[in-house]
Chain A
């Protein structure tokens, strides 16, 4: 840890002192760099590319800073830099949808920041004017502070019911920006909750059960809401709501489990977050490319790889993540562990829908123009993300001499991947998918228009946001 408290703001310290923050930094950094690489191609003809790069880099800096932060003020600086600069990314295209989504995003981001501010002030005061985590670990929490943290950071993390801005804001941003928004930036909310709500606090035992169920509801809700959408990026955004629910479940499990098993949940948390960052980031990039370029066979394979990965089929990083989740729930002896199958079914449904919509978008594109092939500068980053996802789940099978250069601890995920290869596990992974196919067909056949209508019902969010704006800005 670097102590900067005599140079910068009071208490300033940076460093990556725990395994969680190291892992978090790693996948965040990787996703960011690849997304920036992708933007080199996607923003080539953008007349406002300068603005795009400015906000991208500000968000990048904020995101890394908040992971590196060892004290409250650095975290808050990174967090607000990332949140506010994110507005620029959401607004970037300047269309009507972008403007109203940007307004909603900014309104909720400011509220979230102020809630986080008051939580941090209360916490720092309770800790007697110390700002670093190490001293905060042993200061008991109170209910007010916990709820402020959950609300303030939850508005960033975007789980149900604090997700309102997420499905609106992510799809309107440029593809690479949506990739990092969904892959890296919203995870800052979960990271912050891990940081500020130490599992050792007894009060969190009371909160754990509730937060666990909240995560579960969010997981189901996101997947079902995705079915009501028509645009691929919006489906992906709702799928993020669902996946953030799983991350929230893992986080609350780390509070609930006995101390000996807490590390299990935390390892699973980092693994799941990394898996989702790679897969969701890549899918957003692919969805962005699909609207402008013709997909070759290789591209379709890549797309399939990531969809299968999100569906948690064996051999994928998703299988590793889901196994970790199942182990953690099993360790807690959750009475309703079987409910996870329901979640898997919903996820599979959403992914079927995504595939169908992407296909439809691609067909629509090809019927209008003769689109050219996807450029390598866009395919490359996606390909590298696939490599990263494979390494995440399978680096342990490589000989030790080949894996020394890999970051520490990553090889431990291989055992989880292997556990997903038993016959029972394979069957457990496949039957929700097999059930999803006919269910999806029936749903589309008999309830397709109803789902479509349901998807349009989200207007009230914009309506409220506009009302609010009229309140503070009469003209």
Chain B
């Protein structure tokens, strides 16, 4: 590749999904082949570009792209190891979700609109990952809100419109808080690039209260998307969206954008030193710990499969926040690796829930009795995903929980391990009965609305293949956790390279 092209690599990665997305908007509903081609072209192109960038970043190269935007705050796209973690996660899962969505929405109306926004959504996520300063981050964060709203209300039912309104109310006010926080910091320190170790240390002497306010605003703004208690209200309702949207929302795009933002703010804006000096970690730690238990507790009571998964997300994403708030290197590794692991596991679970709904019309948990015989592959994927959520090896979830636990012990907060144990117990309480029903339950009534989607497989291959792919990822990430390719090694690299811990 030409050297000048390399400079544009971050921009190209964003454009590789943005341009196909814009083109798709102009397509007619019947142009299925062209639309599918554009979708897959975008995915492939992005994967190739991301691969190039990954190679480069591993070698220690840096990519940097700047356009003038506001006075004192340029639009910056750059690639460090941390942004690459998120970029790889979102583009790989985008591949799976695109295929899934094509299969899922076959013969349903308004697909051009859907896939257009779908691509926009991924562009915004990738842009947010590559953002080089807070202003750029904010811009993509807001874009993400706008791109996901049409996806949430896609079905157009009163229920989904209500969910969409709620989603918009939560995320827009969150965006507002975030903007206030960003502007406050801009006033105090300008908007320099994200720096490992933060850039606010010089301000510590002058105004600590303003910094605390800014931190609170930023976390509150990001906490809406990361579904931190008490800002989680939109998430369970938003599960009325089509399954691929829920999958993307819960695994990569929205929820993770919030969690990723929290990582950025704590490590690259404030820095561990400043967070410690201002005593900012404690409230975040307690809030995250409470959210973990609260989400799991609420998940117990849900009888709708997707709703149970939604509450489980609230709990699981807070593992990441908790790991960040512990402010230790091992906990940071755990948090980062959980960002990836949770994404892959949760997307698998949502794919499976979608498969059950599409193939047999199953929405309620008690309708799952004996489904293991009917759809063994999907059920296997669901089982492994659920075991991973509880934290049982060899699923990937165990690795992240192990590191989070080690991180808690490292910073002498053993009570946090108790939080993980309790959450694991609650996870077992709401996942294992489902698994039991799937495999050992006796089917007591006919499937709600069975459809024959494939003559060879248990369901349409485009629905089955993505879940098999992510199932493979879960096991590979868990079993081969210390190989060079694994998210764990990459997270260790990030912590080593970019998070400054004084040791």
| B61 contacts chain A at the CB level, 8 A cutoff | no
Q: Are B402 and A121 in contact (CB under 8 A)?
A: yes
CB closest chain-A residue, reference B399:
A9
> Which of A77, A88, A114, A474 is in CB contact (< 8 Å) with B421?
A114
Given contact pairs A121-B406, A122-B417, A77 touches B425 in the complex (Cβ within 8 A)? no
Q: Are B480 and A7 in contact (CB under 8 A)?
A: yes
CB closest chain-A residue, reference B433:
A473
Given contact pairs A117-B405, A125-B410, A475 touches B479 in the complex (Cβ within 8 A)? no
Q: Are B481 and A473 in contact (CB under 8 A)?
A: no
Q: Are A110 and B425 in contact (CB under 8 A)?
A: yes
Given contact pairs A117-B421, A121-B402, A125-B406, A12 touches B482 in the complex (Cβ within 8 A)? yes
CB closest chain-A residue, reference B489:
A10
- Cα separation A172 to B188 with both chains bound (whole Å): 70
> Which of B303, B426, B429, B482 is in CB contact (< 8 Å) with A10?
B482
Point out the residues of chain B lying under 8 angstroms from A377, CB to CB. none
| A129 contacts chain B at the CB level, 8 A cutoff | yes
Q: Are A472 and B429 in contact (CB under 8 A)?
A: yes
Range for the number of chain B residues in contact with chain A: 35 or more
- Cα separation A25 to B483 with both chains bound (whole Å): 29
| A6 contacts chain B at the CB level, 8 A cutoff | yes
Q: Are B392 and A113 in contact (CB under 8 A)?
A: yes
Q: Would you give the shortest CB distance from B401 to chain A, in whole angstroms? A: 8
Given contact pairs A7-B482, A122-B414, A110 touches B393 in the complex (Cβ within 8 A)? no
Point out the residues of chain B lying under 8 angstroms from A472, CB to CB. 300, 426, 429-430, 433
Q: Would you give the shortest CB distance from A210 to chain B, in whole angstroms? A: 24
Point out the residues of chain B lying under 8 angstroms from A140, CB to CB. none
> Which of A73, A81, A94 is in CB contact (< 8 Å) with B440?
A94
CB closest chain-A residue, reference B401:
A117
| A106 contacts chain B at the CB level, 8 A cutoff | yes
Given contact pairs A9-B478, A73-B402, A125 touches B409 in the complex (Cβ within 8 A)? yes
Point out the residues of chain A lying under 8 angstroms from B488, CB to CB. 10
- Cα separation A6 to B480 with both chains bound (whole Å): 8
> Which of A7, A94, A118, A129 is in CB contact (< 8 Å) with B405?
A118
Q: Are A118 and B421 in contact (CB under 8 A)?
A: yes
> Which of B330, B393, B425, B440 is in CB contact (< 8 Å) with A76?
B393
Given contact pairs A6-B483, A80-B393, A472-B300, A114 touches B424 in the complex (Cβ within 8 A)? yes
Q: Are B481 and A10 in contact (CB under 8 A)?
A: yes
Q: Are A8 and B482 in contact (CB under 8 A)?
A: yes
Q: Would you give the shortest CB distance from B185 to chain A, in whole angstroms? A: 35
Q: Would you give the shortest CB distance from A391 to chain B, in whole angstroms? A: 36
Q: Are A80 and B392 in contact (CB under 8 A)?
A: yes
| A84 contacts chain B at the CB level, 8 A cutoff | yes
Within 8 A of A (CB), among B471-497: 478-483, 488
- Cα separation A102 to B432 with both chains bound (whole Å): 12
Q: Are A8 and B481 in contact (CB under 8 A)?
A: yes
Q: Are B483 and A7 in contact (CB under 8 A)?
A: yes
Q: Would you give the shortest CB distance from A337 to chain B, in whole angstroms? A: 40
Q: Are A124 and B406 in contact (CB under 8 A)?
A: yes
Q: Are A106 and B481 in contact (CB under 8 A)?
A: no
Given contact pairs A106-B432, A110-B425, A118 touches B418 in the complex (Cβ within 8 A)? yes
| A135 contacts chain B at the CB level, 8 A cutoff | no
CB closest chain-A residue, reference B411:
A125
How would residues 10 to 26 of chain A score, 1 for a CB under 8 Å from any chain B CB and 0 otherwise? 11100000000000000
Point out the residues of chain B lying under 8 angstroms from A110, CB to CB. 390, 424-425, 428, 432
Point out the residues of chain B lying under 8 angstroms from A77, CB to CB. 393-394
Chain B contact surface mostly: helix
CB closest chain-B residue, reference A4:
B482
Point out the residues of chain B lying under 8 angstroms from A6, CB to CB. 482-483
Residue of A81, A122, A125 with highest tally of chain B CB at under 10 A: A125
Within 8 A of A (CB), among B388-402: 390-394, 398-399, 401-402
Within 8 A of B (CB), among A33-81: 73, 76-77, 80-81
| B366 contacts chain A at the CB level, 8 A cutoff | yes
Q: Are A129 and B406 in contact (CB under 8 A)?
A: yes
CB closest chain-A residue, reference B492:
A10
| A111 contacts chain B at the CB level, 8 A cutoff | yes
Point out the residues of chain B lying under 8 angstroms from A475, CB to CB. 303, 366
> Which of B301, B421, B430, B479 is in CB contact (< 8 Å) with A8?
B479
Q: Are A9 and B482 in contact (CB under 8 A)?
A: yes
Q: Would you give the shortest CB distance from A86 to chain B, in whole angstroms? A: 13
CB closest chain-B residue, reference A76:
B393
Q: Are A111 and B405 in contact (CB under 8 A)?
A: no
Q: Would you give the shortest CB distance from A26 to chain B, in whole angstroms? A: 26
Q: Would you give the shortest CB distance from B399 to chain A, in whole angstroms? A: 7
| A422 contacts chain B at the CB level, 8 A cutoff | no
- Cα separation A432 to B401 with both chains bound (whole Å): 52
- Cα separation A80 to B424 with both chains bound (whole Å): 14
Point out the residues of chain A lying under 8 angstroms from B478, CB to CB. 9
Q: Would you give the shortest CB distance from B108 to chain A, in whole angstroms? A: 32
- Cα separation A122 to B406 with both chains bound (whole Å): 7
Q: Would you give the shortest CB distance from B332 to chain A, in whole angstroms? A: 14
- Cα separation A121 to B405 with both chains bound (whole Å): 6
- Cα separation A124 to B421 with both chains bound (whole Å): 16
Given contact pairs A125-B409, A473-B429, A118 touches B417 in the complex (Cβ within 8 A)? yes
Point out the residues of chain A lying under 8 angstroms from B390, CB to CB. 110
- Cα separation A464 to B399 with both chains bound (whole Å): 33
Point out the residues of chain B lying under 8 angstroms from A344, CB to CB. none
| A453 contacts chain B at the CB level, 8 A cutoff | no
Residue of A6, A7, A73, A117 with highest tally of chain B CB at under 10 A: A117
Point out the residues of chain B lying under 8 angstroms from A106, CB to CB. 432
Point out the residues of chain B lying under 8 angstroms from A76, CB to CB. 393, 398
Give me 6 other A-B pairs in contact (C-beta within 8 A), A84-B387, A118-B420, A472-B429 excluded: A9-B399, A115-B421, A118-B421, A121-B402, A469-B433, A474-B301
The 10 closest A-B pairs by CB, nearest first: A125-B409, A121-B405, A472-B429, A77-B393, A9-B481, A10-B482, A110-B428, A114-B421, A118-B417, A473-B433
- Complex A-B: 14 CB contacts under 8 Å: A7-B483, A9-B399, A10-B482, A73-B393, A73-B402, A81-B393, A84-B387, A110-B432, A111-B425, A114-B425, A117-B401, A118-B420, A472-B429, A473-B433
Give A residues with C-beta under 8 Å from B: 5-12, 73, 76-77, 80-81, 84, 88, 91, 94, 99, 102, 106, 110-111, 113-115, 117-118, 121-122, 124-126, 129, 144, 469, 472-475
